């Protein structure tokens, strides 16, 4: 195989050392773990999120800290995202991959879902992705080379009760990625989705909306480092879909095969408490 031909990219092992990788949502959780891991493999990272202090702290903990660029950007702001991509090109001369990871959860039964909260989550999870793709794709197309790694979720395939709004944002991302992958064929651009199950991060504390969810059991979740390793795998192997944990892949297959049984189990194990009166205040929800 001619490894210099970008059109053969789908079949190549992609080097991480020396590449320039932009990560959205790099100030915490999965994004921060991915930034550290990719830096340890020799990549130069552009760290994007809204909290400057957190970003600076993550950068300090990375291999060759001085090499990486911090961009305090809200991904819902299309102009700011475009400026960040321009700054990346101006600083490093290119961009090899983006990890679209910035995301936020939204809670509530579908029949009571606050439409404003739902739109806020869509603006970050889907709007943020679209702004990044719109800004980066002209560069990827010009250099006939580029990788999108998109952090979706297992709920993009099968919703859980009381987080249907969040699941809808992740399902939308999955369909957008499918279309982008086909549209990018022959251009040297690849699209991978990483579908984590529960991850131990601040994600649950930051969800928008009331949290009256009661679970019989709640798994502590895998560490963000496990997802970071899956991102590295997706980058190296250009794999379309990666499940960081085999158990989540298996559960998805079982839900496809036995949907009625799966619904019954979820309805028994996850419930919603009765309204208490102060639920209308949509303060950040706490994981219980």
Ligand X SMILES: NC(=O)c1ccc[n+]([C@@H]2O[C@H](COP(=O)([O-])OP(=O)(O)OC[C@H]3O[C@@H](n4cnc5c(N)ncnc54)[C@H](OP(=O)(O)O)[C@@H]3O)[C@@H](O)[C@H]2O)c1
Whichever of 137 and 230 has its CB closer to ligand X, that residue is: 230
Dist. CA 91–CA 96, nearest whole Å:
13
SS3 of 149, please? strand
Binding ligand X (rule: CB under 6 A), the pick from 3, 202, 265, 267 is 202
Q: Which structure tokens are listed for 71?
A: 């961009």
The structure tokens listed for 254 are 């079982």
Q: Which residue, 16 or 199, has its beta carbon nearer to ligand X?
A: 199
The answer to whether 198 and 221 have CB atoms below 8 angstroms apart is: yes
In this structure, the dihedral spanned by the alpha carbons of residues 132, 225, 207 and 235, taken in order and rounded to 10 degrees, is 20
> Between 205 and 234, how does the x/- string for binding to ligand X read (CB under 6 A)?
-x--------------x--x----------
102 binds ligand X (CB under 6 A): yes
Residues 128-157 that bind ligand X (CB under 6 A): 128, 151, 153
Q: Between the CA of residue 42 and those of 15, 65, 76, 147, what are the distances in Å?
A: 10, 11, 30, 17
Q: Any contact of residue 54 with ligand X (CB under 6 A)? A: yes
Least separation in angstroms between residue 255's CB and ligand X is 16
Nearest CB to ligand X, comparing residues 43 and 104: 104
Q: Using the structure block, give the residue that is written with the tokens 């550290």.
A: 36
Residues in the chain: 288
Task: Determine which residue in the list 22, 39, 43, 49 makes contact with ligand X, applying CB under 6 A.
Answer: 49
Residue 166 annotated as catalytic: yes
Cα–Cα dist 275/147, whole Å: 45
Nearer of residues 9 and 235 to ligand X, judged by Cβ: 235
3-class SS of residue 34: helix
Q: How many residues bind ligand X (CB under 6 A)?
A: 32
Q: Give the residue, chosen from 19, 20, 22, 31, that forms a contact with ligand X under the rule CB under 6 A.
A: 31
Residues that bind ligand X (CB under 6 A): 24-31, 49-51, 54, 74-76, 101-104, 124, 128, 151, 153, 196, 198-199, 201-203, 206, 221, 224
Residues annotated as part of the active site: 166
């Amino acid at each position: 195989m001619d490894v210099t031909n970008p059109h053969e990219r789908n079949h190549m092992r992609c080097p991480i050392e020396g590449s320039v990788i932009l990560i959205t949502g790099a100030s915490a959780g999965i994004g921060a773990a991915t930034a550290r891991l990719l830096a340890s493999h020799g990549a130069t990272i552009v760290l994007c999120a809204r909290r400057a202090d957190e970003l600076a702290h993550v950068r300090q903990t990375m291999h060759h800290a001085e090499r990486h660029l911090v961009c305090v950007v809200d991904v819902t702001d299309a102009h700011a995202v475009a400026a960040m991509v321009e700054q990346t090109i101006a600083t490093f001369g290119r961009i090899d991959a983006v990890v679209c990871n910035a995301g936020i959860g939204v809670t509530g039964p579908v029949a009571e879902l606050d439409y404003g909260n739902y739109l806020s989550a869509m603006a970050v999870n889907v709007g943020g992705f679209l702004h990044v793709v719109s800004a980066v794709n002209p560069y990827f197309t010009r250099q006939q080379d580029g990788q999108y790694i998109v952090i979706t979720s297992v709920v993009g395939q099968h919703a859980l009760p009381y987080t249907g709004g969040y699941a809808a944002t992740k399902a939308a991302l999955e369909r957008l990625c499918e279309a982008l992958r086909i549209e990018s064929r022959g251009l040297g651009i690849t699209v991978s989705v990483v579908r984590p199950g529960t991850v131990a991060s601040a994600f649950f504390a930051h969800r928008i909306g009331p949290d009256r969810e009661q679970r019989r059991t709640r798994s502590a979740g895998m560490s963000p480092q496990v997802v970071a390793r899956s991102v590295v795998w997706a980058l190296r192997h250009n794999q379309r879909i990666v499940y960081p944990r085999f158990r989540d892949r298996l559960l998805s297959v079982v839900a496809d095969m036995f949907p009625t049984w799966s619904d019954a189990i979820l309805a028994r194990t996850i419930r919603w408490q009765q309204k208490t009166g102060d639920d209308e205040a949509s303060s950040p929800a706490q994981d219980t």
